[in-house]
Structure 1
Amino acid sequence: MMKVKLGDVCERGSSNLKQSDVVDKQGDYPIYGAAGYIGNVDFYHQEKPYVAVVKDGAGIGRTTLCSAKSSVIGTMQYLLPKDNVLPEYLYYVVRHMHLEKYFTGATIPHIYFKDYKNEEFSLDSLNKQNEIVQTLAKIEKSIETRQIEIKLLDELIKARFVEMFGSPVSNPKKWQVEAMNDVAPIVNYAGSLGDDVWLLNLDMVEAQTGEIIEYLIVSKEMVGNSTCTFDTTNVLYSKLRPYLNKVVIPDRCGYATSELLPLKPLPTKLNREYLTFLLRTDDFVKLISAKVTGAKMPRVSMKDFKNFDVPIPPLSLQNEFAAFVSQVDKSKVV
């Protein structure tokens, strides 16, 4: 084992492909973007497996292991392994480095190979690298299995919601209703947030579950203008691409992209758990997804959203549901 720099084991490569260049293309060769696999095309730029890193925009530093005979779009940086490192080993190493710490630029963040190529790590022999890769792959397989179990628990919560309250759209239990804007208005947190703050972007929120994929802590000076503030009384709802169903119950204060609405449920009317799972129900997602504006960047019609009639069951029943959610959440961490 010896200490080496990242630049000792890989070469950088760049791509000039745009996502629009691969729309409606077909073929045998995969192409990747910041969010992962995009689709297949009839060409490829790299003959061998490699690592790609998001270098521009949201998600900078995110690392992907890409297959042979594939390509990436221009927001990604190729890291092409030399003969002294396995692509899989390089992937784990780079992912552990958290290259997002090298970002520059407030409006559109960037990271540059010249800034992180001197990151040091321990390089083992190829045989040892293979052993480590196999071990980590087994661990990740166990994690994937656990994630499937967690998804089933999330489905259990959704089923329990419908059982207790019915569809929030058809309201079969005939609960009293009030407009969303009256019982869960958009309210930014007005308190102090300190010098180092949590900054939540949409790509850091898992679709359908609202789980936080990545916590990004930045200095307050690095927070852009297009943000909102929130605390632990808010529910964050994504108005962009509502079909992705990104709804968050934050566990701390912070800043978020302005694409997330900081809803503040009135404690005399709603609790956060009830509101969150109402917004996540299939019926609500289907309804609100049909009421969007903008073709390329579909956003929820705020008029329709604010005027939605929210069924308001008794708080005692909502609190019973919240206790059920809490119990299931405990099962997720066992």
Structure 2
Amino acid sequence: MKIVELGDVLKYEQPTRYIVRSEDYDDSYEIPVLTAGKSFLLGKTNEKDNVYDNHPVIIFDDFTTAFHYVDFPFKVKSSAMKLLKEDSDRADLKYLYHKMKTISFDAKQHKRYWISKYSKIKIPLPDLATQQAIVRKLDTAQKLCDLSQTLIEKYEKLSQSLFLEMFGDPVTNPKGWEVKKLEELGTLERGRSTHRPRNAPELLGGKYPLIQTGDVANSNGYIRKYNSTYSELGLLQSRIWKTGTLCITIAANIAKTGILMFDACFPDSIVGFTPNNEMTTNLYVQYWMSFLQKIIEESAPESAQKNINLAILRDLDIPVPPIELQNQFAENIAEIEKQKALAEQELAKSERLFAALLQESFS
């Protein structure tokens, strides 16, 4: 089997001519705007000139070495990437893409990597027929992952649609529900972290879960895990919030929410909401806020980073349907979440299968 450098079988193109002129994106537009980073799809543009259409292609972030396989026309936001195409006489692009997934690379320095280092990485290159057989096997496994992911997304959309069906648009309030200030429906309190610096070593490493804004933003509605803990000293300058508390971020990630699934502490960049159970539920407030999140974020003042204060949250107008209807919504969501959890289990199984096949194919 031949050993080749990636740069021998992947030729790059600079993306300069495909850079979008305006960042005025809208979902109604046709052309995707991509980044090679984690977010991938930044939005859609109505600019139809200089669209990259020589797909499939690998888009490669020159600074982080993140990459994606793209098989549709697109534009890009910046020049901080390479567009990689295969030498089709010797290599299958999808094979190279899968092989790159197995490469461990340290990209801690802020520098461009493709030309200087990454393209020089050596890989085994079997004959073209063997490459294509490996791709077919991995693509079949990937389809199982995609099916489960699509089902999860359908359940998420179903939950949003159910809210609109039962309560109407929370911005325009077409059903004419009574409107109250959010502070009238329960207690809003900022988290606590009085010690400075906040990350002093003696505050951390104990048994008390510590939730940060990123944990809330990435929770998908329910905070089930944590990455930090407080020590006894850390707890003394904070407090514990009970399971079921609705966490709302007010700094960096604005108006993102998650319901605590365990007792935990959190800093003053997060607000805890405890409902008056005779008037509302955490779940209703959470879904209501999900429709307003972008509005709240766009109106947030920005200094070093965007943030809102407790007064802004307390003063928000919220339609208040009958509590019986809110409880019915919660019961329906619980059933949807059960089905979604099953789909997530299937996704996890499919991802493990894919990982095993990937390792087997390139070991």
TM interval, shorter chain, is 0.5 to 0.7
Measure, in 2, the Cα distance between the counterparts of 1:69 and 1:313.
Answer: 45
User: Are positions 1:32 and 2:34 aligned together?
Assistant: yes
Distance 1:311 1:68, change over 3 A: closer
Measure, in 1, the Cα distance between the counterparts of 2:284 and 2:176.
Answer: 17
- Provide the secondary structure at the position in 2 that maps to 1:185: strand
**Does the aligned pair in 1 maintain the 2:12–2:83 contact within 8 Å?**
yes
User: Are positions 1:179 and 2:176 aligned together?
Assistant: no
TM-superposed CA distance for 1:145, in Å, is 4.1
The one-letter amino acid paired with 1:81 is: E
Query: Please, which of 72, 91, 103 is the counterpart of residue 97 of structure 2?
Result: 91
The one-letter amino acid paired with 2:288 is: L
- Provide the secondary structure at the position in 1 that maps to 2:140: helix
TM-superposed CA distance for 1:265, in Å, is 1.1
**Does the aligned pair in 2 maintain the 1:93–1:121 contact within 8 Å?**
no
TM-superposed CA distance for 1:51, in Å, is 0.6
Structure 2 spans left out of the alignment, 5+ residues: 25-29, 195-202, 229-239, 343-363
TM-superposed CA distance for 1:63, in Å, is 3.1
TM-superposed CA distance for 1:309, in Å, is 4.2
The aligned residue for residue 272 of structure 2 is: 264
User: Percent identity over the alignment?
Assistant: 16
The one-letter amino acid paired with 2:289 is: L
Measure, in 2, the Cα distance between the counterparts of 1:103 and 1:180.
Answer: 50
TM-superposed CA distance for 1:280, in Å, is 2.0
The aligned residue for residue 276 of structure 1 is: 286
Measure, in 1, the Cα distance between the counterparts of 2:179 and 2:60.
Answer: 50
**Does the aligned pair in 1 maintain the 2:92–2:131 contact within 8 Å?**
yes
Give TM-score scaled by structure 2 length: 0.54
The one-letter amino acid paired with 1:127 is: Q
Measure, in 2, the Cα distance between the counterparts of 1:88 and 1:333.
Answer: 31
TM-superposed CA distance for 1:18, in Å, is 9.3
The aligned residue for residue 83 of structure 2 is: 78
Query: Please, which of 32, 46, 49 is the counterpart of residue 42 of structure 1?
Result: 49
User: Are positions 1:139 and 2:141 aligned together?
Assistant: no
TM-superposed CA distance for 1:235, in Å, is 2.2
| Rg (Cα) greater in structure | 2
Give CA deviations for 1:56-102 in whole Å, capped at 9, x if unaligned: 5xxx56532234886643233434333443223333444x4487x73
Measure, in 1, the Cα distance between the counterparts of 2:2 and 2:86.
Answer: 17
Alignment of 1:166-315 (within 5 A): 167=170, 172-174=176-178, 177-179=181-183, 183-187=187-191, 192=204, 205=218, 233-237=245-249, 247-249=257-259, 262-266=270-274, 272-281=282-291, 284=292, 288=296, 291=299, 304-310=312-318
The aligned residue for residue 70 of structure 2 is: 66
Distance 1:119 1:110, change over 3 A: farther
- Provide the secondary structure at the position in 1 that maps to 2:270: strand
Measure, in 2, the Cα distance between the counterparts of 1:154 and 1:76.
Answer: 37
- Provide the secondary structure at the position in 1 that maps to 2:69: strand
The one-letter amino acid paired with 1:42 is: D
- Provide the secondary structure at the position in 1 that maps to 2:190: coil
The aligned residue for residue 359 of structure 2 is: none
Distance 1:327 1:155, change over 3 A: same
Length, aligned pairs only: 302
The one-letter amino acid paired with 1:65 is: Y
**Does the aligned pair in 1 maintain the 2:57–2:84 contact within 8 Å?**
yes
Measure, in 2, the Cα distance between the counterparts of 1:5 and 1:145.
Answer: 36
The aligned residue for residue 336 of structure 2 is: 328
Structure 1 spans left out of the alignment, 5+ residues: 219-229
**Does the aligned pair in 1 maintain the 2:250–2:309 contact within 8 Å?**
no
- Provide the secondary structure at the position in 2 that maps to 1:102: coil
Give CA deviations for 1:205-232 in whole Å, capped at 9, x if unaligned: 59xx7699xx9979xxxxxxxxxxx986
**Does the aligned pair in 1 maintain the 2:179–2:317 contact within 8 Å?**
no
TM-superposed CA distance for 1:331, in Å, is 1.1
